[in-house]
Structure formats: C-alpha cells, structure tokens
Amino acid sequence: MYKLIFLFFVTSEFEVIINLHFSHLLSILLVRYGIERNPGPHRSTDLRNIKIVHNNVCSLPPKVDLIECELGTYDIIALSESHLDDSISNESIALAGFQKPIRLDRTRAGGGVIIYVKNYLYYEELPELAKPGLELLWLKISTQHCHFLLGVFYRPPNSRVKLWDYFYDSVSKALDKNLPVFLTGDFNVDMLSSNNMPCRSTGSNNLRNILQRLNMYNLVFEKTNFTTDTGTCIDLFLTNNKSCVKSVDILSPFCSTHAPVCAEVNFKVNKEYTYKRTIRKYENANYKDFVSDLNNIDWNEHFHSCDNINDMYSQFLNIYSTNVNKYIPTKVVTIRPADKPFMNSTIRRKMRQRNRIHYKAKNTNNCIHWQKFRELRNEVIDLVRQSKEQYKQKLTKEITDKNIPPGKWWRIVKSISKLSKSREPTPFLKSEGQIFLHPVNKAELLNSHFSNISKIDVEPELPNNVPDPPFKMEEIIITEEEVLDQLKNLNCNKPSGPDGVSPRILKEIKSGETLRIIPSQGAEQFHIIKVSYHLLLNSGMN
C-alpha cells in the first residue's frame, strides 16, 4: 500500500538537521513500509436475509458448472433428481464457497436429493426424521440467534399412495421440534389442477389434505415445469410459518424443464454483496496537460495561509486531486466478490435476454417465444462451458510458461488447488457447544484463545522509571535524485493508498518540477523557500 508523504528536500544550498527521539523513528518506519493503522480493503459485508433455492436438475454431474454460475450466490441450494450413486465423489460435484454436499442417493437409477450450504452457515443433519423409501432430506440450519429446519423432497411420478403416509410421519416429527420449517422439492403433483382433472387432482388433493392437517402452507402458485403447453406447478415451497418468508420467486429454467424456486426467509446472516467502484481510465489520460498545469501553479499563494506541514499537505492533496479528476477520466464498475473467474459480460447479457423471453413466453404461451427461449437457454449453456474451458486452457498455458514470474505462478497454482484465500466470509466457529457466526464474535473467540495460550505463569514486574533510549537520529538528508530513483522503480500494479494517490500517475508525472519546503531549525512552523512540486512516497520495495 502506498503512503503519500508531503516532505522537504535538502540540497547543497540548504541543510536541515533534525534531532528526533528514537520513538519517532518507529513512526517513520511504519510510514516508509506502508503499514496502516487499519490495513486492507473495505469488506462489503452486511446482515442480509438467507436465500434458499430449489431446482430439479435431472442429473447433477454434467450441470455442476451451470449451477455454480446461476445459483452460486444463494445461501442454500437444494436439488432434486441428482442421479448420484457411490461412484460419484463429493469432490467431483463440489461448489466453490459451499461446504461438503449433503446427499441422499437412491439405491437404484434416477431420483436422489442433495443440499449445498454456504461455508458461513452452520447445519446439523437430522437422520431421525428419515423414512425408508422416502427421498426426503432434513437439516437444522443455525444463524446467530435463530434456528430453522429445511427439507428437500422428491416424489417420483406414479408412486404409491403409501408414500404420503411416510411423508406425513416425517413432516410431523419435524414440526414437533417447535422450529420454523421450510420444505421444498419436486412433489410431482400439480397444485394448479382442479377437480375436473381427476388424473392430476388425486395427488394434489392428498397433499392439500396433509397440509391442512399439519397446518402448513404452500407459497408457490405459478407454473414451474414446462413440459406441456399449459405447464404445471409441481415444484413447491412449504412452511408452517408464513411470516418467516419474505418472498418467493420463480426463476427462468436453465438446465432442465423445471424452473428454480427461490425463497427469501427472514433470518439474517453476514454476507458479501455486489457493490460499485469508481476506477480511472489511465489509457485516456492527458498527462501532458496535467503536468503543465501542476508546473504553473503558484504554490506560494496556496500555502500562504497554512500554519504547519499538515495543512500544507492537505492543501496540496486537494489541488492534486482536482487536477487528476480534470485530466484522467473515470468509470463506474460493478465488483462481484462471489463471481466465478470465467464469468463475463457476454454470458450475463445472454442470461438477461433468456430471462426476458422466458417471462414473455410464460405470459403469452406463444410457441415462437418458447422456441426463442429454448435457443437462448442452450446458447447460455454453451457459452458457460466454452468460457470455463478457455479459462482452464489459459491457466494451463500460463503455468507451463517458463518465463512466468514466480509470484504469478504461485497465485495460479493456489487458485487451481483451492489453497488461495476465499473472498467468502470466514466459516463458523464452534467452542464448548456454542456456535459463533458473527464476525465480531469469531474475532473475540480467536483473540481470547490466543491470548490465553500465550500467557506465562508469572508476569514480570515493570520497572518504575524507564530511561529514555540513548539512540537519536541526528539528521535526515534526502536528495532529489533519491526521490526520482524511487519514482522510476514504482510498481504500477500496486493499489492506491488511503489518500487515493495512484502509483501509475506518479510514475507518469515524474518529469515535473520539484517542490521544496524547508523548515526553520528549532521552529514548529514551516516556510516555503522555492515554488515547484514533487512527491515523495513509499515505493513498496524491500
């Protein structure tokens, strides 16, 4: 991190001798090596509602990349018809930012349910709620102050009526825990069917009767499966407490005929979110006029009313920032911390087009619109797979390049091996049976742990009178050539410091004149001797 320092230069004409206490030297060292009181970028985290999404994927293994792109921002992903067995490992279907998947596989072909939970959430499996032959998986999810149960269910079409009895028993046991219950999945019963359609209404009537007996509610009233011209509402979201659900939305199908069902529940968790950032377009900068304007500034006029070096620095920085904004244009970009490295604007644009045409097709039921939707859906699938393959080829080419810098090589290796630091919030911590989810609580727990293990049995006594250190810095002599050498060696890839001064700009304007400010010996006031300008800063070099 770069730290801009407004300082003075000593030439053959002027010499400054400054006596400093040794403790002051420590402050200079901190500034010189870029150590800030609050280092690092601002983390865009906030308390936000938990979002749960369900989708019938009709075979998970070939669609992991699509699910990661489309649903990776949700806190909990529940999938039905996973089509998994013992030959498919958890590593092959893992999602970045999520814990190990919780699976309920079939002993035969087809079916199966699976749940992905974000790293920052704590969950417990509830095997006591399981029933043989019932594809229903239950979890207990814990937030900072609340708990709730989540289940994902898959009912095969044309299954036996006896299955509803198993379903009733399992849900009844879940309700006995006196917690909010959310149950989602593919029920294969059309909740939009009427009694005039006996072939469809039998299953829906059975489910309605069960929901009435259990005092539960279905919150999905739209078509979710589009294998027919009319569509059916078979992907549901059930709950025993409607006040805990803020909203339920039906998304566009992206990997099967089933539309994902998304629910936002009123349980808070700390999450990173997308935010805007202003960056400079250095390739369009006018450095020639920028340097010319700085050289023509009458610094005597601006510094005349300044009483000390801090006021001078603030005045200088204001003038500098004004000229930067004048000659170097800016643009606003969107930062997506949880975005995948192979995602790009083309894929996002095609996704938006697909979603718009799907909305139109649902409302008009026009065959032309449906055909256009299917074409765009397939195009998005191809773009995602091509983009990820190109990303892999790029990494392979870079890692085999003999001329690649060691630092970049290690960054690539860490990203491939998943050893690099994740942008996701830190995982939960568990101590003495208590779960810690909030960042402050986790930090306090870690501080307490390391402070306790570092204590010694007997604390030494502190001396009453500590003499002043005998070390003194007798003089600081900085020449203009030394500053120019530092500017030549600047790393332009380094980020700006807290004052917003970019290393790239400093390197571009190093040809400017020098501003020398000479302090009077023994005085607290600083006086301007010569009008010109320059910047002395930490170059970040060892």
Cα–Cα dist 485/195, whole Å: 85
> Containing H/E element for 508?
helix 503-508
> Containing H/E element for 245?
strand 245-250
* CB distance 387 to 69 below 8 Å: no
- What are 18-28's pLDDT values in tens digits? 333 444 444 55
b (16+ CB within 10 A) / e for 330-352: eeeeeeebbbbebbeeebeebbe
One DSSP character per residue, 73-140 reads: TSSEEEEE-----TTS-TGGG--TTB-SPEEE--SSSS--EEEEEBTT-EEEE-GGG--TT-EEEEEE
Q: Quick one: which of 99, 63, 96, 97 has its CA closest to 79? A: 63
- What are 158-198's pLDDT values in tens digits? 888 899 999 999 999 999 999 999 999 999 999 987 654 55
CATH architecture designation of domain 46-272: 4-Layer Sandwich (3.60)
In this prediction, residue 38 carries a pLDDT of 47
Bridge partner list, 276? 334
In this prediction, residue 461 carries a pLDDT of 79
In this prediction, residue 301 carries a pLDDT of 82
Q: Tell me, yes or no, if the pTM score tops 0.75.
A: no
Helix (H, G, I), strand (E, B) or coil at 231: coil
Task: Name residue 415's amino acid.
Answer: S
pLDDT tens digits in sequence order for the chain, 542 residues long: 333 334 433 333 333 333 334 444 445 555 544 445 444 445 555 678 999 999 999 999 999 999 999 998 899 999 999 999 988 999 999 998 899 999 999 877 888 999 999 988 999 999 999 998 899 999 999 887 789 999 999 999 888 889 999 999 999 999 999 999 999 999 999 998 765 455 555 667 889 999 999 999 999 999 999 876 678 999 999 999 999 999 999 999 998 989 999 999 999 887 777 788 888 888 898 888 888 888 888 878 888 888 777 788 888 888 888 888 899 998 998 887 777 888 888 999 999 999 999 999 888 888 899 999 999 999 999 999 999 899 888 888 888 888 888 888 888 887 776 655 555 667 778 887 777 877 788 888 888 888 887 777 777 777 777 777 777 777 777 777 887 787 778 787 777 777 778 888 887 776 666 666 544 433 343 333 333 333 443 333 33
Cα–Cα dist 11/533, whole Å: 15
In this prediction, residue 533 carries a pLDDT of 37
Identify the residue whose tokens are 């800016």: 330
Instruction: Quote the Cα angle for 28-31-33, to 5°.
Output: 110
Bridge partner list, 268? 49
Bridge partner list, 141? 123, 148
**Sequence spans of domains, the chain:** 4-41+287-334+471-537, 46-272, 340-417
Instruction: Quote the Cα angle for 270-273-278, to 5°.
Output: 140
Cα–Cα dist 20/117, whole Å: 57
Cα–Cα dist 434/437, whole Å: 10
Q: What is the 3-state secondary structure (H, E, C) of 414-457?
A: HHHHCCCCCCCCCCCEEECCEEECCHHHHHHHHHHHHHHHCCCC
Cα distances from 527 to residues 8, 17, 299, 305, 478, in angstroms, run: 10, 16, 12, 11, 18
Q: Quick one: which of 205, 126, 130 has its CA closest to 167? A: 130
Q: Quick one: which of 487, 480, 485, 538 has its CA closest to 508? A: 487
